Structure 1
Amino acid sequence: MLKLKNVTGGYVNIPVLKGVSFEVHAGELVGLIGLNGAGKSTTINEIIGLLRPYEGEIELDGLTLSMDVEGYRRKIGFIPESPILYEELTLREHIEVVGMAYDIDKEVLFQRAEPLLSIFRLSDKLDWFPVNFSKGMKQKVMIICALIIEPSLLIVDEPFLGLDPLAIHDLIALLDEAKKRGVAILMSTHVLDSAEKMCDRFVILHQGQVRLDGDLSQMRQAFGDSQASLTDIYMALTKEEEMG
């Protein structure tokens, strides 16, 4: 389980997040929703440890970064918005580097990777370099590298960018399987129609604060419209904040 408790943080002493608190439970997919600049990327960077909060605490399965940096980080799988690959390493070597970083036996590593490579049609491309990959293929490599570590927490940032419809379908199925295994999933996305269908719960960020936290029925109740879509609720909240 992931817990953020009154997290205030940002860049060079400029607070982007202001007292952010929410949880992601095991076997739950939570959508992190907000406009550009709302604090989604900062929240993710605080969770994965690229930033440290000025105030508050982030806890994952009872661990914090200050307690055990290596143990904490090994619990997280991260699929970034833009693929980050080493141009001089083949796909096979990328997988091996992940194994070394997370101390996973090579045989176990490729047993985990094999079905994922098959799903994303990359089994015959293990000796390819990133220069040979399309953007979608690079994104698939990132997905594979995040899933083979079998994380407690999977963070997915704008997961559908660059993926073809078949790959999107495959990724949604993989996220559903991960949930069934008890993985906590935090997904940041602007695609609200997809988020409404996929997510168990939503955290709406606006101007660095949690504006709403709940499932769709709870948000509809707070909004006062039992038929409202996630897009309706989000647009109304942001307009209300801007007018206020």
Structure 2
Amino acid sequence: MNVLTINIKNAGYPDNKEAIKDMQFSVNKGELVGLIGANGAGKSTTIKTILGLLKDVDGTVSFEGESRYAYVPEHPVFYDSLTLWEHLELAAASFQLQTEEWIERAEKLLVYFRLEKEKHELPSSFSKGMKQKVMLITAFLIQPAVYIIDEPFIGLDPRATKDFLSLLMKERERGAAILMSTHVLDTAERICDRFLLMAGGRLVAEGTLTDIQHTCGLSGASLLDCFDNILERSL
């Protein structure tokens, strides 16, 4: 079942209305799709389009039914005057979560990511990795139908990365659809069901790793080798 469907003829900015072109893809229930591309390929513009942040869009973005989504940005964003716990309260109120339900879930997530002692502190004082954990905790608290995650591994130490991936797999089992942009291709190769490879604002290849290998004519190659091959051909 498609939970997120994108059909975009072009989208962009006032000075470049075709930053991305001919983008058609979907993300299914319980599926993890990797959005892969070099800097400037159009990944961020694609995510902004999905989030409804761009005015110059010719196309449609559809979430199935009343599906809610959570966005984890590459660079954490906080309200300067709110503590970690108050950020979670705000997220819970925004999504009208039941009080007992979200408090229990929040407490477990704080323990899981080892931030329970910092719950009443301001995230602005946290390290980069701790800030990223707060973004992840807020997203997992909501338990949305769709996760849109941009470069989640930046700043996370190995243990936090393992914890994040473990929870992500549980959310897939719950049925959540996940679109994840990342440059960490070895991890993406291991965890993603399908890949969307971008270059020059377009999709240049998509499918499973086997599909991508077939497109490149590189049987058994890694995702990184396939990406390099496709990128060279797209230049």
Who is 2:29 aligned against?
26
SS of equivalent residue, structure 2 residue 227: helix
Residue 7 (structure 1) shift: 3.9
Who is 1:65 aligned against?
none
Q: Distance in 1 between matches of 2:132 and 2:30?
A: 24
Who is 2:76 aligned against?
83
Contact map agreement 2:27 2:177 (CA 8 A) in 1: yes
Who is 1:98 aligned against?
91
Contact map agreement 1:2 1:24 (CA 8 A) in 2: yes
Number of equivalences: 232
Q: Distance in 1 between matches of 2:85 and 2:140?
A: 15
Name which of 37, 46, 61 aligns with 1:58. Answer: 61
Matches within 5 A, 1:8-27: 8-12=10-14, 14=16, 15-27=18-30
Asked if 1:45 is matched to 2:48, the reply is yes
Name which of 180, 183, 196 aligns with 1:203. Answer: 196
- What CA deviation, in whole Å up to 9, does each residue of 1:179-228 have, x standing for no partner? 11100000101111111111110000111111111000111122222111
Who is 1:148 aligned against?
141
Q: Distance in 2 between matches of 1:101 and 1:221?
A: 45
Residue 123 (structure 1) shift: 1.5
For 1:8, the aligned partner's letter is N
Matches within 5 A, 1:141-180: 141-180=134-173
Contact map agreement 1:192 1:231 (CA 8 A) in 2: yes
Contact map agreement 2:71 2:149 (CA 8 A) in 1: yes
For 1:197, the aligned partner's letter is R
SS of equivalent residue, structure 2 residue 20: strand
Between stretches 81-90 and 220-229, larger displacement belongs to 220-229
Residue 52 (structure 1) shift: 4.2
Q: Distance in 2 between matches of 1:113 and 1:7?
A: 40
Who is 1:35 aligned against?
38
Asked if 1:108 is matched to 2:110, the reply is no
For residues 143 and 199 of structure 1, do their structure 2 counterparts lie closer, same or farther at Cα, with a shift above 3 Å needed? same
Q: Distance in 2 between matches of 1:52 and 1:77?
A: 21
For 1:77, the aligned partner's letter is A
Q: Distance in 2 between matches of 1:57 and 1:132?
A: 39
Who is 1:3 aligned against?
5
For residues 229 and 132 of structure 1, do their structure 2 counterparts lie closer, same or farther at Cα, with a shift above 3 Å needed? same
For 2:183, the aligned partner's letter is H
Who is 2:219 aligned against?
226
Residue 53 (structure 1) shift: 5.2
Contact map agreement 1:79 1:159 (CA 8 A) in 2: yes
Q: Which runs of 5+ in 1 are unaligned?
A: 63-70
For 2:14, the aligned partner's letter is V
SS of equivalent residue, structure 1 residue 17: strand
- What CA deviation, in whole Å up to 9, does each residue of 1:115-159 have, x standing for no partner? 211110111221111233111111111001111111111011100
Residue 105 (structure 1) shift: 2.4
SS of equivalent residue, structure 1 residue 148: helix
* TM-score, reference length from structure 1: 0.91
Contact map agreement 1:48 1:76 (CA 8 A) in 2: no
Q: Which runs of 5+ in 2 are unaligned?
A: none
